[in-house]
Amino acid sequence: MIELFLKGGTFMWPLLLCSVLTIGYAIERIITYARIRKERDQERIVQEAGSMVENGAGPEEVHKFLDKTGRLEGEALMAGYDRFKHLLGTDRPTGELRAELQETTISAARAYLERNLPVLEFITGGATLLGLLGTISGMIKSFGAIAEKGLGEPTYVAKGISEALITTATGLTIAIPALAIYVIFMTRADRKAVQFEPYGNSFVDALLRSRGKKTE
């Protein structure tokens, strides 16, 4: 395996990095999705956070609770709460405020669920292009050997062709699983975001009710 790697030439090193990143980020996403709470726990957390806000809890207390909660719910609700505090002194209509807070909350949820997936998407194309560059590099070496040695020295030509084929195969071997992992995780992220959206909207409603109490 090491010998085959070395025969692939310079472009095998960035391809190795791509493979390590693919494995690392795939494991990270698996752990992240495995730690997502069940819907009944999400509902409980949102109700508790909403009650704190409606009962007049201060920013420090709310932040402490959401920091302790962490994960999807903590990050999404924190983003919505911070945006709400920022907009609290404005005279914007309730409907407009609700739409912006809902968008902020669901965007934060998606950011949590899709974190590091753009890297996998980049690796999908990057590994393929690196393999192609390795192919071109190997072919250049082969034609250079032909120009220098003629067709009477097939060893030099075969070395370049071997490098070209190895990098091409390696790039595709990395890119295809990376693409599959990206699609699987993106689909899961979309599903989890849709599942969480009603709870995020419920928290936004609690924020707006607390605003109404303060203006009474």
Which residue range(s) make up the domain with 85? Answer: 2-211
Write the single-letter amino acid at 77.
Answer: L
pTM > 0.75: yes or no: yes
Report yes or no on 70 lying in a domain: yes
168, 12 Cβ separation under 8 angstroms: no
Report yes or no on 78 lying in a domain: yes
CA distance 112 to 97: 23
Report yes or no on 196 lying in a domain: yes
Structure tokens at 38: 């069940």
Over residues 16-58, the pLDDT tens digits come to 999 999 999 999 999 999 999 999 999 999 999 999 999 989 9
Q: What's the domain count of the chain?
A: 1
Report yes or no on 117 lying in a domain: yes
Report yes or no on 192 lying in a domain: yes
Average pLDDT over residues 147-168: 72
Report yes or no on 110 lying in a domain: yes
Report yes or no on 116 lying in a domain: yes
Average pLDDT over residues 74-79: 96
Report yes or no on 216 lying in a domain: no
Specify the pLDDT at position 152. 59
DSSP at 124: H
